[in-house]
Structures are given as C-alpha cells and as structure tokens.
Structure 1
C-alpha cells in the first residue's frame, strides 16, 4: 500500500490515543517526527503483496499506455486502473504510479476503443469488457488528472450506460429478462456477464447518472431466477442455504457464480435479502479452493461480497483471501493461473483481480463501500 496513505490511516487510528499524543508532541518536520512515524509503520504481508503486485503491473504497461499482456487491452487496462485506484493511487500525481494511471486512463478514452457507446468490440472483450470498463469509469469519475479528462470520462460513461440499458431491454424469454449476455443484442443472459453490468449501473447511479430504478429491479428479478433454491410467493427461498448458477433453471451452484450473485444482490441494495443470507451460508460451507473454475474471477466477488455481509462471513473471507492469494504470488510479484480456462487469460488479468480482492480492506473504491 502507498506508504503516505498508510501513514494517514495510522494517524486516524491513533487520533486522541496515547501513541498519537506522544507523536503529536514532536515538532512537525523534525527528524524525530519522521523516525517516530517510521517506527509505527510496519507493513503486513497483505500490504507487501499488494505493493509488489502494483509494481508488477507497472512493468506490463505498454508504450501506448495500455496495461495488458494477452490481448483484450481495453478491458485489461480497465482492471489495472481499478487495481491502482483501489490502493489510493491518484491519476496524474507526480509519481511513477500516478503517471502510469493517467496514461492508462488516456488509453481507455481513445475514441477508437468505444464504438457507438460499446467498449467490447475493438478489443474483442464483448459485454464482459464493456461492463468492466464502464464500472471503471464510474469509479474514477471526478478523479481524473484534469477537468478535461473528467469531462471525457463523463461523456464516454454516458454513452456506455445507455448501451447497457438498451441491451437489457432486448426481448428475451421471461426467465432471462433483466440480464445480459455476450453481445449487446443477445437474446439470452448469464450471471457472469450480468454482474459486471449490474455493478456498473449501481456505481453510475451513485455518481448521479441517469439509471432508472426499473433497470435495477429487472436485474434483481434475473438474479432471483438464477438462485438455485426455488422461491415461494413471498420471494423467500425454500431452503435456508443456497447459491447462484450460471444460468436460470440450473440447480447446481458453484463458488464463482455464488460469489458473483451474492455481490450482485448487494450491489442492487438488497443487503438484507434471504438470498444474500443463503449465499453467504453456502460460501461458508463451500470455501474457495485454488483449483475452482475461474478462481481469480470468483475471489474478486467473494472478497467483496463476504466483506459486506460482515461478521463470520467477513472474517472468514478476509483470512482465506489472504491465505490463498499470498501463497500463489510469484517471486516477481505478479499472479498467474495455471488452472483451467484462466491460464490463457494472462498475468495482468490474474494480478489485477488478486489486488482487487486483497484491496477490499483499503476501502478506496466506492463500489467497495456499502
């Protein structure tokens, strides 16, 4: 984590306490002040891992500002931007990280990367990439390096949100309505694609952008159809513990989809839903393993969703997220998957999702906040 930011956190933690009193008695700017603060700064294993991960991402920034190693440059760069922002890096600040973040945002905002509002065509990332990039833009809106950059973020975001809403309105079978699939005009839906659009819409609404309440309600209805335990007339699951499936009608939950559905429900504001309670119970009974399908993808949702549940769920997820991800970090500081489908997606993909999973504790990204 950025050392200056960690110091500010220490000051807030010790405000009014005995340690703060002893430090505050020292004149500002003196060597003694700096040495006393330095003695308080003891980075833990997660902070060190995140620092090394961010440094690894810097090494993958290309001349054009993109941060990608295996294609899908707009989507991967957007994930990297969120990873930087999640640990408090500010675009344009006079540091290697600040300058790298500014260049990355500029890359995403290139006109050729967005076609009629759509970010998923140019780099082949489809609606996955569109949702990721739109979410990123909502998270950095107002945090650009200049007024002009913020205006361009807003304009790109406005068009991107309109495309998400238009795509949701495509005529589909009843149980698939409210969700999204691989392309803007798709007539079916799946949870994996839908969760990114849901997060983008909710974050955009938090930014004050025009997102109809009906679109969130439709997304919730789709999520309810994706829950593996049937709901009664009151919307209560027949079973107290359940998960989410890739598509409605499937009764076999998975770690990744249950984590995604949990976070999506919370993102829609349904924190007290019995589906949230049931999914968190299921995840406590079925903890993540590094050979789960789409492990890094699932950990991103798991860390956020369980953190927002709180209590035993948050404590368990915090411990397991650190144990699993720190064990998998390479000596070079990055993460990479050697399992299943994720092994072909690349180092930037795995590293950004690992940082975002571990970065829940820092609370810098608005989407992390309840």
Structure 2
C-alpha cells in the first residue's frame, strides 16, 4: 500500500471514529500516527475550520479584499486536508471539493498558470495553488469532484501536470533560475520562488514528473541568495538582513529537495534555531507557517519546543469566531496560523520527513 493510500485509510478511520462519537459536531482525531495531538491544538483548529467553512464563497473561493485568488483558496483547502478529516466523506468534504474545483477551473489551459482565467495570475497564487493540488492528488476522489453539475475542466492530475509545466516554462525565462510575481518576469525573489519551489517539490513527491533541471536551478538560486551565516536575501544581490520568513523558506527548500548535506541548509537551520521567538513581526503568520515546517524538517526536538510557544501564542490571539487577524486579512491569517500548527497532525505529505 502506497503512502497516499495509507493516509486516506487513516483519515477515513479517524472520521469514522469521530462520527461515532458525535453526529452533530466536528470531532478532530485525537491521535495521528501514534502521537497524541494536544487538546489546545484540537480546539484552536476546530474553531478555525468552522470559521473557514462559513466564510467560503458559493463558487468555492476564499479571500479578503486584495488577498484572494487560487493561492488563498489553496491555503484554505490545505488547512482542511491537514486536520485528518476524511476529504471525501467527512463533514468538510464539500468545502474541499468546491475549493479544488475553483482552483482547477481558474487555470489557463495554454500557460498552465493557476489563476490565469480568473484575473489572479500571480506566481504566488500559482505556487500555493499548485501545492494544494499536489496534496489533494491521490487522496481526494475525482468522481466526487465531478458529481452533479459541478464538473471540473480537467482532472486533478491533469491540472497538476499543466501547473508544473507552467512553472517550469516561467523559470526557463528567468536568468536567475527563480520566480517573481509575473510568469514572464526576468527578475526573481526568494519569497515567490519559495512558494513555487515547494509546490514543484510537492508535485514531484505526488508522482508528477518534474524536471531535475528545474529543481537544481531553483536550489542553485537559493544557494546564491544564502550567506555563510544562514541569512537569506530577498532579491538582487546581497541584502542579507535578518528575516525569519526568508531563512525558513530557504531551509525548507533545501530540506524538501533532499539537500540537507549542503552547508547552506545547515547554516539556515542554525540561524533559525537561534531565533525562536513567535510573538511578533509584520509577517508573523507567514513566518510561522514556514518556520514550523523548516524546524520540523531540520530538528524535531527544537521544533517541539518552538511548537509549544506557538500553541500558547495561537490560543491567546484567536478571535471568538475562530479567525485570526493580521495584515493579510482573516482568511489568509487563519489559514497560515492553522497550517503552522498542522504538523501536530502530520497528515499532509509535504509534512513528511
């Protein structure tokens, strides 16, 4: 039995157990893969999922103001997938299906860029949406996705393959080997490039063919942007100011691309372990989302200590309606905040070590 089938079976059993406990309300599983999930995590997560379920649009999208598009929808979809609820028959399966349909139907059939048909053709949107498709691929039942009058323009696998081609085509136009906001951009930055790289790596892990050259060029770009002390620059040359989000992105890219033997991985991990604060920063939720994954990939014992701080901070900052507030709007803030805690569940394949 392959890993994705195992994940589906575990998720189905978890939902069946929860359903037996209560038919009236959502019950998140209490243990995943042998590890007990802290009660605070379950309570915070359940409230957050309830908020996201209620805030989804009729057509399946999520978003607030300027923070909208298939990438935002992808973040929300991953939040549901990460909790362990059965994505096909669980209480949030309808939310997941509507979200995935909206992502696939937003794709430009010519360029492969997700959001190209809905006016949200940012490579940020493309990267996060591609990641969501990769995490759903092989776990979500395609027959259910195309039930009734809600058929998708293409299957998840077809959409994911097309999205990979779109990302690779964009990279080939870029002399840096990375990505910027537009698919035709000639410059690059480590934030957008991180979103696309993680999406490509997740697609590869899901069994989609991703050219080795694309991964190698992406890693080489991050290497060129990483200092000996583990600082990761944003764009251009130099500019190695301390940024926990950027250091986390670089560390995660090295880890998931299986380059933990590189000195740049070790340098970024060291820089992260020397910066354990989760209490502030303009890009707090964004930084927490990446730092959680980077620390887990790099040093589980350090992640466990950091995770304890994160849970306390999330418990104190969650709004009564289950949302989180911040610069990105409640949808993005809530999704990123919950995903930063999702490693406690260990369901998303991208969270594997």
TM-score after normalising by structure 1: 0.80
Q: Which moved more, 1:62-71 or 1:183-192?
A: 62-71
User: Which residue does the alignment assign to 1:161?
Assistant: 164
1:267-306, Cα deviation, whole Å (9 max, x unpaired):
2111233222222221222233443131111111000110
1:8-157 to 2 correspondences below 5 Å: 9=31, 13=34, 44-71=39-66, 72-93=68-89, 95=91, 97-110=92-105, 116-121=111-116, 122-124=118-120, 126-147=122-143, 149=145, 152-157=155-160
Number of the residue aligned with 1:246: 234
Does the 8 A contact of 1:138 with 1:200 survive in 2?
A: yes
Unaligned runs of 5+ in 1: 15-40, 230-240, 338-342
- Of 124-133 and 106-115, more deviation after overlay is shown by 106-115
Correspondence for 2:3 = none
Q: How many aligned positions are there?
A: 321
2-structure distance, mates of 1:358, 1:346: 19
Q: CA deviation at 1:330?
A: 1.0
Deviation at 1:252, TM superposition (A): 1.5
Indicate if the aligned counterparts of 2:37 and 2:345 stay in contact, CA closer than 8 A: no
Taking the aligned partners of 2:143 and 2:202, their CA distance within structure 1 comes to 21
Structure-1 residue corresponding to 2:246: 257
Q: Go from structure 1 to structure 2 and tell me whether the alpha carbon gap of 1:114 and 1:44 turns closer, same or farther (over 3 Å shift).
A: farther
Tell me if structure 2 keeps the 8 A contact 1:242–1:253. no
Who is 1:194 aligned against? 193
Is the partner of 1:109 in helix, strand or coil?
helix
Aligned pair in 2 of structure 1 residues 311, 86: CA closer, same or farther (>3 Å)? closer
User: CA offset at residue 67 of structure 1?
Assistant: 2.2
Does the 8 Å contact 1:119/1:160 carry over to 2?
yes
Q: Which residue of 2 aligns with 1:267?
A: 256
- Separation in structure 1 between the aligned mates of residue 158 and residue 72 of structure 2, nearest angstrom: 21
Query: 1:351 and 1:113, CA in 2 relative to 1: closer, same or farther beyond 3 A?
Result: farther
CA contact (8 A) 1:225 1:249 kept: no
Superposed, 1:253-332 pairs within 5 Å as: 253-332=242-321
CA distance in 2, matches of 1:196, 1:57: 22
Match in the other structure for 1:360? 343
**Does structure 2 retain, via aligned residues, the 8 Å contact 1:81–1:105?**
yes
- Does 59-68 or 79-88 show the bigger shift? 59-68
Please list every run of 5 or more consecutive structure 2 residues that lacks an aligned counterpart in the other structure. 1-13, 19-26, 147-153
SS of 1:320's partner is helix
For 2:38 and 2:238, how far apart are their aligned partners in 1?
A: 47
Residues 348 and 123 (structure 1), Cα distance of their counterparts in 2 relative to 1, 3 Å cut: farther
Q: Deviations over 1:132-169 (max 9, x none)?
A: 10111111012223347496111111111001101111
Greater relative contact order structure (CA < 8 Å, 6+ sep)? 2
User: How many Å apart are 1:323 and its aligned residue?
Assistant: 2.6
Cα contact 2:64–2:329 (8 A) shared by 1: yes
Are 1:351 and 2:351 matched, yes or no?
Answer: no
So what's the TM-score if we normalise by structure 2?
Answer: 0.83
Kept in 1, the 8 Å contact 2:233–2:240? The answer is yes
- Give the SS at the match of 2:63: coil
How far does the alpha carbon of each residue in 1:117-145 deviate from its partner, in whole angstroms, 9 at most, with x for none? 11144243500000110111111012223
CA contact (8 A) 1:55 1:333 kept: yes
Superposed CA RMSD = 2.5
Q: Distance in 1 between matches of 2:109 and 2:306?
A: 36
Does structure 2 conserve the Cα–Cα contact (< 8 Å) formed by 1:335 and 1:351? Answer: yes
CA distance in 1, matches of 2:178, 2:212: 15
